[in-house]
A = this chain, B = another copy of it.
């Protein structure tokens, strides 16, 4: 059995785990600009709406039924529902819910959906600890900083090899945020990060199944439990992230340590967060945006359209290349379906990704006329679209940045409309309005009770 055990490893990595722990423990409350704090509130409020929306979806019914087998205690709330469960499973369930419609926030540099793992854990633990809204936002900003910086350091290699980076870095953000809420010292926070480092969750192979939203939920729970264990003296490697056999070198060939060490505490990843106008993977958004714009500019009807040709980066088809999706869930991974509904209905919200719409005759007929061409000279955040009409005209548009991107952010009005669209069918219009107001202004709230009363 003798063999060569040489696997590449950099033994000279800086002490990332310790550095992040000290940062999370010591950074002052609200120690960032007003613009950053505003984006943190937009992140939180958008996440609350995204968790309420799917709270009665079959994914949540299955997840809740599985959790209920444990006869959990009633420590923390599930957004959009009446049941309570223990805080670890509340973190899990809210994390699952918030990603079920693929409608949550996106850190475009890494394609991480940062709120899911962190906000889910913060809300559950925070409810149990009876924290203030300010503490919630602080923990959210710091936790997201940890997971997104680790993501920056390993992206794209880590993602390319098949990890769903939201879950596989999210447990670190969750652990960091929970350690902050538990007021652990730097040494215990370092242990919390270390315990979490052994639990990366998520494979891209699961896209199109319920296990995709399992990932942020699982990461939220893993991070929360790691912090609870560290609170009681459970130990881990002090170099769990950066050691030659630590997480980052194990799950990525790229490890750019400067992405973590540079400007820590000065620049903020949450400031780069974006919110989806369309209920599907972010790489489809430029194509939908282009289709909707061409539709509106030229008053196109489906019957007028002879063919649609989209030129996109190869990643778009790798992630969303399902030509003939059979279910609503599968259709979220179909750029073809997404273009068809964008052209037909001028939008691509959750209602355009149901089983019924996927199999509607006018949708399948138009979908069949959408063609995709791979062109890696086009950025993965862009799309080039040409529509030929039955009367021989040709309409073209190039989308450099889609609506909802950092360059073209959603407005406050759009963000609130998205929140209400998702949550009103679940909790009613009045509570939806109230929940938006409270979530969007949570740092001024002395506690979380009013928000939870409105949102559950």
Task: Known A232-B66, A380-B2; judge A237-B206 contact (CB<8 A).
Answer: yes
Determine the chain B residues whose CB is within 8 A of the CB of A156 once the complex forms. Answer: 3, 5
Q: Is A73 close to B, CB under 8 A? A: yes
Given B2, B234, B240, B315, which contacts A66 in the complex, CB threshold below 8 Å?
A: B234
Contact A237 B205 (CB under 8 A): yes
Near B by CB (< 8 A), chain A positions 184-242 give 194-195, 197-206, 208-211, 214-215, 218, 225, 228-229, 231-237, 239-240
Determine the chain B residues whose CB is within 8 A of the CB of A225 once the complex forms. Answer: 66
Q: Is A394 close to B, CB under 8 A? A: no
Annotate A1-45 by CB proximity to B: 1 below 8 A, 0 otherwise.
111111101000000000000000000000000000000000000
Give A140 to B447 CA distance when docked, in angstroms. Answer: 48
Contact B161 A206 (CB under 8 A): no
Interface size range of chain A in the complex:
35 or more
Q: Is A271 close to B, CB under 8 A? A: no
Contact A233 B58 (CB under 8 A): yes
Contact B210 A236 (CB under 8 A): yes
Q: Is A425 close to B, CB under 8 A? A: no
Determine the chain B residues whose CB is within 8 A of the CB of A209 once the complex forms. Answer: 194, 235-237
21 contacts between A and B (CB under 8 A): A1-B379, A1-B381, A2-B377, A3-B156, A5-B160, A7-B162, A61-B232, A62-B232, A62-B234, A66-B225, A66-B228, A69-B231, A70-B73, A198-B201, A198-B211, A199-B199, A203-B240, A203-B250, A210-B235, A211-B235, A214-B234
| Given A73-B73, A162-B244, 9 new contacts (CB under 8 A) | A5-B318, A6-B160, A7-B160, A71-B73, A71-B75, A167-B198, A197-B205, A208-B237, A251-B251
